[in-house]
A and B are shown apart, each in its own frame.
Chain A
Amino acid sequence: MIAMKSVIKILCCQILALGLLTGCSRSFLDRPPLSQISAENFYKSTNDLRLATAALYGGSPWGDWNYTCYLPVGDVLSGNMAVGYWGDAVQLNTFSITGQNAIMVSNWKSMYNIIAQCNITINAIKDRAPDSIPLQARNAATAEARFIRGYAYFNLAIHWGAVPVIEDNGKLVTSPLVNRVKTEDVYKFAINDLTFAAEHLPAADAAGRLTTWSAQGMLAKVYLAFSGYNQQGSRNQALLDSAAKYAGNVCKKSGLALLPNYANLFKTQYNDNPESLFALQWAPGGGWLEGNMLQIYSTSPEISANGSAGWFGIGPTVDMIKLYSAKDSIRRKATFMLNGDYYPELNAAGGGFKYTGNCAIKKHIIGTNKDNNSPTMTQNSSTEHNALLRLADVYLVYAEALLGNHGTTTDADALLYFNKVRERAGLMPAPMLDADSIMIERRIELAAEGQYWTDLVRLSYYNPAKAIGKLNGEQRVTFTYSGGVITPASPYGVITPATIQSFTFPIPSSEITANPKLLEAPVPYF
């Protein structure tokens, strides 16, 4: 009977224990994330919003694009440079891009990744940010995200024209099969984003942050491209005027000026200088495709991070190098290395660097960890904040917008800003401007900054014959260089003559497989 009593006691304890467990079961199952901030607990202060938008300026959303597309699309496809031993890049060189081309697919994917991050940030600020955060701060943060989203849609419009427009990524879960949107509406979407940004970004902010001048400069560029869309011979004057208006604001009202020394633009000591309107904000450290990987083009372990040389031999084409006049040596030397060039700032501790190969890229090659005072910089994470929009670009946009549909111009403003760019390069001012002189100036000033292809595409909008002619007239091969003599190298592949098709990327095959509606005619968005 003693046993019996114990049994009853145990039973009672058990029932009690069960009751206790049941009683606290609600909190037992409340297990919030421990390692990361949940979106519900974020976006609660101005500082939270600043931390969220800061993530859109670089890092993994931009890493793949910066590595795979920035120069291959902007400069290899356009004929400024050529890169070998990489089948996908050879397709860019020879105008034989297929729906499987990895560079093209990366460009598509990266822009939509950036758009997704921007959309999430924009929607989270709208839905979650409390009223206790001043409206101005909420708008400014939204404006940063909308600038970057607008940039991405502009990039998509240039390369593909009609593409899907995604504003709410959550909706894709239930209805993933969307149509492409007409090219003009993609442009209008980008313009709307950038207009909002221009209205709500401050006139000045911490170095590297976007300002209204960034947005207005970008807006000018988008208007200028859009002004030629679906036009024959001449461009839409109203859109040209808008381009001139915004570019003019940046030139005259921003108080910004060009950096006096062109070569300094590409040194990390001058990251986020006043000329830089939108630059990717890379940090050292970080893994594969998370940082600025442009050191992959470095030719020597002496001049790159951690003593590891790059692996893609990219170099200027014969066509590009011949554009530089003898006097244009400041920009040439800051952009491309030729045999015998000496760079004291590269491997400074080792007495500088003398280039002994034929030809190679110089921009984005920033030297060793010591040169950049960055011990944690690696091969995958250059600390250069490469600018995607800078003041000189806007100056030239302004000149081109003022030239507009005229054959030539001697407009004082056009000449003033155009010649500021030339004077910094150590060249004589131009007395008069025409379409070709501006295009060549842009090509040289912005070489190896991923810009020339955009210029060719927007030319193809209203003057396809001229754009095709420019491509087919190019000598798209690198060269050997000795004693000042340029000898063209053998081509990486047989170059197919460019056609109007060459200005539009095919849609990635995998996307069409996943969504055959992409083959249908594009639909209006607005």
Chain B
Amino acid sequence: MLMLPAWLLIGVLFCASSFAQSITLTGTVVNKKTNAPVPGVAIVVKNSNRHAISDAAGKFTLETTAGNTLLVSMMGFEKQEVTVGKTNNITIQLVENVSQLDDVVVIGYGKTKRKDVTGAISSVSGDEIRKTQPTTFDQALQGKVPGLVVQQVSGQPGGAVSVQIRGLSSFGSSGPMYVIDGIIIGGTASLGEGTNPLAGINPSEIESIDVLKDASATAIYGSQATNGVIVITTKRGLVAPPAISYDMYTGYQQLPKRMPLMDLQEYATFINERNKALGWGFDTREDFANPKYLGKGTDWQKELFRNAPMTNHSLTVNGGDVRTQYLLSGSYFKQEGIALGSDFERVSVRLNLDNKTTDWLKIGTSLQLANIKESVNTTGNSVIHSALTQTPDIAIRNPDGSWGGNYNPDGWVNNNIVNPYAMALINKDDINRYQLFANLYADVAFYKDLSLRNEVTFSYSTAREDRFNPTYTFGLVKRTNNSGAFLYNQNLFKTIRNYFTYQHVFDKKYNVNAVVGHEAQLSTSEGASAARDNFPSNNVQVISSGDPTTATNTGIKGQNAQESYFGRINFGLNDKYLFTGNVRADGSSKFAADNRWVTTWSGAFAWKLNNEAFLRQVKQVNELKLRLGYGLTNNQNIRDFAYTSTLMTVATGLTGIAQLTVNVGNPYVQWEKTKYTNIGLDGTFFNWRLNFELNFYNRRTDGLVMQIPLPLYAGTAIGWAPGSLDAPYVNIGIVNNKGFDFRISSTNIQRKHFSWKTDFTVSRNINEVIKLNTDGASLSRPYTRTVVGRSIGEFYGYVIDGGVFATAKDFETHALPVKNGEPLPVGPAGGSIWYGDLKFKDLNGDGIINELDQTYLGSPIPKYQLGLNNTISYKNFDLNIFFSANIGNKVFNQLRITGEYPGTSSGYMRNLMNYAQLALIDSSGSATDIKNVYVKNPGTFIPGLRNDNTNDNNRVSNKYVEDGDFLRCKNISLGFSLPDKLLNVLHIHYLRLYVNVSNAFIISKYSGMDPEIGSWDPLNAGIDNGFYPQPRVYTIGANIKLTK
């Protein structure tokens, strides 16, 4: 019904145009600033197929009529509309894109101009992403997008990254939703520890990334979007002559910092002292009799870490005419890890096609195929942890060429520590993934204002893992049985999506844009694995050559589905007031039938102050917009079938098989609901030279879903815990995130040959748990505790009161630990407290040290994350320096628990030499007389040499909690673009050469390798246990562009 009048309207327009006079227009396109001709510019007559493309001299010819409008577009320049006058010759001056305001922003099921955005959306261009030369694009978002906290989960090549948008709103994973060209990246097949599911996306293909933060921006995506949406748009073909670009870089990476561990002389000295002091005898090492004659021994860190090469090549061809635009790109990336036993290789191909088939139909596709090969042996076999715990007396290789290993059968030797260097070389843990991301779309334009988009998307991925652990002999440490395993997973995620878009301007004042649609998603996964032991040779590693009687296998299938109806209306009044309303109904198979459906909604209002009369006169203000948004979003962040208990088949010696309950189901588990308020202000001043965005937000999440960590007496656990039931998913509480994020960009200097731009971002989030399942409840993990009134996952433990028991008076003035309520005796024997034991603070003042004396020791969540980017160009040189910083977070250095414990048998840290030294006041007196002993270095936090550990000196305490603040110079790059004269001689359109240093330096008080410790588990974050550190990377590279 609606269509008839509109059709008439179009007819009238066509009729009107046919009366106009036809002319042959010739023109030149130049850069307004430099006056240089701009080739490759597309000039299209609006509402027609007629078009032209400017040649190398910027010239074009086009049949048109006076009064027609020409659309002039070119990458890097602002779009222009030019009305054809009576003259046959025009010059079009293109303005370089200095502001983002005319950029198109992806808002989910549509696009809008940045100046019309009502929600909190930040954007980053692909060029910006590529400056830090990330292996995966998510690494590069750190410090670039305000409100986004990015932390590396593993520094292994292509390693995983945790991304949180505006704080932790979930105890499970708080990661955002990723959408690439309309393809939701959900459940890609993944295997192996620390691997990144987003690793298949090649950063060099990215055109832009839009980060949707508040409810008014995300609600249209519904239930998967409560933690924000990261929308990735890849480059597409242009209406332009074919362009061939080639980008490459190559370089090497190194370990920026090593842990301070004892060398052989120090180690031998310490072992001798401990053996003597404790009267053990069994730790007498003849080879250590004279430590000063020993060398430095093996520095395992030096051996394990290497200067590792990395290299990238990508080739892109794109172009097109008015009907068909194409982009074809291929890339190859290879990176060896700085730790032996890790590497990463990616080959990817992309084809993006758009075709205007008929006047009313446009079809197209985005296709990407990627192959990722990784070795994750370093992480999978905890090689770094072994290197940090193995002792320096062990040789890498023995004189006869065999692997070194613990050789001393006696004494306090940890015989489980392997030769980490050998482990990195001889084990195999290879992962091979294929990822296909495909989007096929058809746009049907019923008439000018109403269109229908149909999309089918596929995300198909497979992952294989090939593991082999050979037999070995490392001195006394032996493995006599080899084993191999092969695992395969595949995942298919399909989406069908249909939505109508209606767009109309009524009375030149009322701008309406409405979207209504339906979406259905189905994810299926399958996997199988096989393993055998007892291979005849370490060199034949195929599963079938293992001993068939040891064969084991597993198989798994999974599925989940979601169906949604959604709608959005944008309404603009006079280009001053903008209103947005979103509503979406989602049904999910993850819940019991009664709880399946939920409604998400949001509303937003924006006021473009600059278009009001009182500001229109103010030349300094180009744009000023106030935004208000509020909404309710829902989250289904739970595993499949959490609503029911399941049983699995297990082997038993009784009946052959039995059915064992796996988890505690909770049929009442519900959607997590977040109420989200956002107030924002965007401004641009001083002729577009200064712009900023500022957002304040408050997110309150009710009915927080999580796998509830209960005391051990509940018989449940989270994660791998044989014998325990998998804990139920429960709506257990309320958490609030509030804060602000701010970005300011300024062009400090803009001259003909010199420019300097600065971008600065700040993200501040305050996380607070408002309610848990019951009063007084807490969520405890080995080093953290989460309670009401504090942020998620704060470190929790004892406080050391100034050092160790050092004088007789200390035993009178300091409380002692208790056992079953009775204070432990004072004395040198086992089961007693003595000089050199740490003094813990009696925080509740009850005169004893027990569990009630623990307190909160800080949070692993950064208070602020900052980014500062400076871009300077001078003539043909460009310089980019990017800093990122974390402020106010703590790191738990778990390695120090054993490394600074005098009774340790592994991981001897250099600090350990400062253990509490006991001495006698009267050297001829008794060593067991409390009045005759004192400690020479009373301020030390390293306990004395004790035979047992009755005092639990290495219990969780503030001594392991360190400041994690850092300022990291993420990137310095210096580029040189060849001058045009030279390029003309070489017949090249563009050539830039550059040098780059990533992670150039870091300023931090943290004693470990790297204070940036990301985690997917918010209850277990910020814990350093031999973390794979981020490398420093030196590269040189080139960007070359050839045009016809």
Chain A interface (Cβ < 8 Å from any Cβ of B): 3-4, 6-7, 10-11, 14, 17-18, 21-22, 25, 28-40, 42, 48, 50-55, 57-64, 85, 87, 90-91, 94-100, 105, 108-110, 112-117, 119-121, 124, 163-164, 166, 169-170, 172-178, 206, 208-209, 271, 280-290, 301, 306-308, 311, 375-376, 378-379, 383, 385, 490, 493-496, 501, 504, 506, 508-516, 519
Q: Please, which residues of chain A bring their CB within 8 A of the CB of B555?
A: 35
If the complex has contacts A64-B722, A98-B950, A301-B480, are A169 and B716 also in contact, measured as CB distance less than 8 A? yes
Which of A6, A35, A105 lies in contact with B557, CB distance below 8 A? A35
Distance, CA A115 to CA B796, complexed state (A): 29
Interface status of B830 (Cβ within 8 A of chain A): yes
Q: Please, which residues of chain A bring their CB within 8 A of the CB of B852?
A: 512, 516, 519
Most buried by A among B452, B774, B820, B947: B820
For residue B771, give the distance in angstroms from its CB to the closest CB of chain A. Answer: 13
Residue of B whose beta carbon sits closest to that of A172: B714
Residue of A whose beta carbon sits closest to that of B479: A308
Which of B520, B640, B711 lies in contact with A31, CB distance below 8 A? B640
Distance, CA A490 to CA B416, complexed state (A): 23
If the complex has contacts A283-B652, A494-B830, are A176 and B549 also in contact, measured as CB distance less than 8 A? no
For residue A125, give the distance in angstroms from its CB to the closest CB of chain B. Answer: 12
Residue of B whose beta carbon sits closest to that of A307: B480
For residue B1041, give the distance in angstroms from its CB to the closest CB of chain A. Answer: 39
Is the pair B712, A105 in contact by a Cβ cutoff of 8 Å? yes
If the complex has contacts A38-B646, A308-B480, A495-B830, are A28 and B854 also in contact, measured as CB distance less than 8 A? no
Offer 12 A-B interface pairs, CB within 8 angstroms, sorted by A: A31-B560, A39-B645, A58-B653, A63-B723, A98-B950, A169-B664, A169-B725, A177-B776, A208-B653, A290-B722, A493-B948, A516-B851
Interface status of B382 (Cβ within 8 A of chain A): no
Interface status of B710 (Cβ within 8 A of chain A): yes
Q: Please, which residues of chain A bring their CB within 8 A of the CB of B829?
A: 494, 496
Residue of B whose beta carbon sits closest to that of A67: B722
Residue of A whose beta carbon sits closest to that of B779: A514
- Contacting residues of chain B (425-483) with chain A, CB-CB under 8 angstroms: 444, 446, 452, 454, 479-481
Is the pair B651, A113 in contact by a Cβ cutoff of 8 Å? no
For residue A13, give the distance in angstroms from its CB to the closest CB of chain B. Answer: 10
Is the pair B712, A510 in contact by a Cβ cutoff of 8 Å? yes
Is the pair B520, A28 in contact by a Cβ cutoff of 8 Å? yes
Distance, CA A448 to CA B568, complexed state (A): 72
Which of A31, A121, A283 lies in contact with B651, CB distance below 8 A? A283
Is the pair A29, B647 in contact by a Cβ cutoff of 8 Å? no
Is the pair A519, B851 in contact by a Cβ cutoff of 8 Å? yes
Is the pair A59, B563 in contact by a Cβ cutoff of 8 Å? no
What per-residue 1/0 map shows which CB atoms of B619-663 lie under 8 Å from chain A?
000000000000000000000110011111011111101111110
Distance, CA A172 to CA B651, complexed state (A): 29
For residue B834, give the distance in angstroms from its CB to the closest CB of chain A. Answer: 11
Chain B interface (Cβ < 8 Å from any Cβ of A): 7, 281-282, 358-360, 412, 415-416, 444, 446, 452, 454, 479-481, 496, 498, 518, 520, 522, 533-534, 547, 549-550, 552, 555-563, 587-589, 593, 596, 640-641, 644-648, 650-655, 657-662, 664-666, 708, 710-716, 722-725, 728, 730, 773-774, 776-778, 780, 782, 785, 796, 819-820, 822, 829-832, 850-852, 854, 903, 947-950, 952, 955
Which of B498, B556, B647, B830 lies in contact with A94, CB distance below 8 A? B830
Q: Please, which residues of chain A bring their CB within 8 A of the CB of B785?
A: 513
Give the number of residue pairs across the A-B interface with Cβ within 8 Å.
Answer: 318
Which of A206, A506, A514 lies in contact with B780, CB distance below 8 A? A514
Is the pair A378, B722 in contact by a Cβ cutoff of 8 Å? no
For residue B200, give the distance in angstroms from its CB to the closest CB of chain A. Answer: 26
For residue B653, give the distance in angstroms from its CB to the closest CB of chain A. Answer: 4
Is the pair B518, A18 in contact by a Cβ cutoff of 8 Å? yes
Is the pair B653, A283 in contact by a Cβ cutoff of 8 Å? yes
| CB-CB nearest 8 A-B residue pairs | A116-B715, A496-B831, A375-B549, A54-B658, A55-B658, A283-B651, A39-B645, A55-B660
Is the pair A172, B710 in contact by a Cβ cutoff of 8 Å? yes
If the complex has contacts A51-B655, A169-B664, A173-B666, are A112 and B550 also in contact, measured as CB distance less than 8 A? no
Is the pair B948, A175 in contact by a Cβ cutoff of 8 Å? no
If the complex has contacts A176-B710, A376-B549, are A287 and B722 also in contact, measured as CB distance less than 8 A? yes
For residue B630, give the distance in angstroms from its CB to the closest CB of chain A. Answer: 29
Extra inter-chain contacts (8) besides given A4-B7, A494-B947, CB under 8 Å: A29-B596, A34-B558, A39-B644, A39-B661, A109-B723, A166-B713, A281-B654, A306-B534
Q: Please, which residues of chain A bring their CB within 8 A of the CB of B558?
A: 34-35
Which of B454, B641, B722 lies in contact with A14, CB distance below 8 A? B454
Is the pair A116, B563 in contact by a Cβ cutoff of 8 Å? no
If the complex has contacts A58-B652, A281-B652, are A51 and B659 also in contact, measured as CB distance less than 8 A? yes
Is the pair B556, A35 in contact by a Cβ cutoff of 8 Å? yes
Is the pair B588, A60 in contact by a Cβ cutoff of 8 Å? no
For residue A207, give the distance in angstroms from its CB to the closest CB of chain B. Answer: 8
Q: Please, which residues of chain A bring their CB within 8 A of the CB of B850?
A: 512, 519
Which of B559, B666, B948 lies in contact with A91, CB distance below 8 A? B948
Is the pair B653, A37 in contact by a Cβ cutoff of 8 Å? no
If the complex has contacts A98-B819, A98-B950, A510-B780, are A14 and B654 also in contact, measured as CB distance less than 8 A? no
Distance, CA A105 to CA B664, complexed state (A): 22
Distance, CA A506 to CA B824, complexed state (A): 13
Is the pair B722, A60 in contact by a Cβ cutoff of 8 Å? yes
Is the pair B563, A25 in contact by a Cβ cutoff of 8 Å? yes
Which of B559, B588, B650 lies in contact with A34, CB distance below 8 A? B559
Residue of A whose beta carbon sits closest to that of B414: A85
Is the pair A306, B653 in contact by a Cβ cutoff of 8 Å? no
Residue of A whose beta carbon sits closest to that of B818: A506
Distance, CA A178 to CA B713, complexed state (A): 10
Residue of A whose beta carbon sits closest to that of B480: A307
Q: Please, which residues of chain A bring their CB within 8 A of the CB of B412?
A: 85
For residue B399, give the distance in angstroms from its CB to the closest CB of chain A. Answer: 26
If the complex has contacts A14-B452, A37-B647, are A116 and B714 also in contact, measured as CB distance less than 8 A? yes
If the complex has contacts A174-B774, A490-B282, are A54 and B647 also in contact, measured as CB distance less than 8 A? no
Is the pair B948, A494 in contact by a Cβ cutoff of 8 Å? yes
Is the pair B281, A490 in contact by a Cβ cutoff of 8 Å? yes
Q: Please, which residues of chain A bring their CB within 8 A of the CB of B716?
A: 116, 169
Distance, CA A164 to CA B712, complexed state (A): 11
Q: Please, which residues of chain B bring their CB within 8 A of the CB of A62?
A: 723
If the complex has contacts A14-B452, A64-B722, A512-B851, are A58 and B654 also in contact, measured as CB distance less than 8 A? yes
Q: Please, which residues of chain B bring their CB within 8 A of the CB of A170?
A: 664, 728
Distance, CA A10 to CA B588, complexed state (A): 29
Is the pair A31, B650 in contact by a Cβ cutoff of 8 Å? no
Which of B533, B647, B715 lies in contact with A113, CB distance below 8 A? B715
Is the pair A504, B640 in contact by a Cβ cutoff of 8 Å? no
Q: Please, which residues of chain B bring their CB within 8 A of the CB of A301?
A: 480
Is the pair B665, A39 in contact by a Cβ cutoff of 8 Å? yes
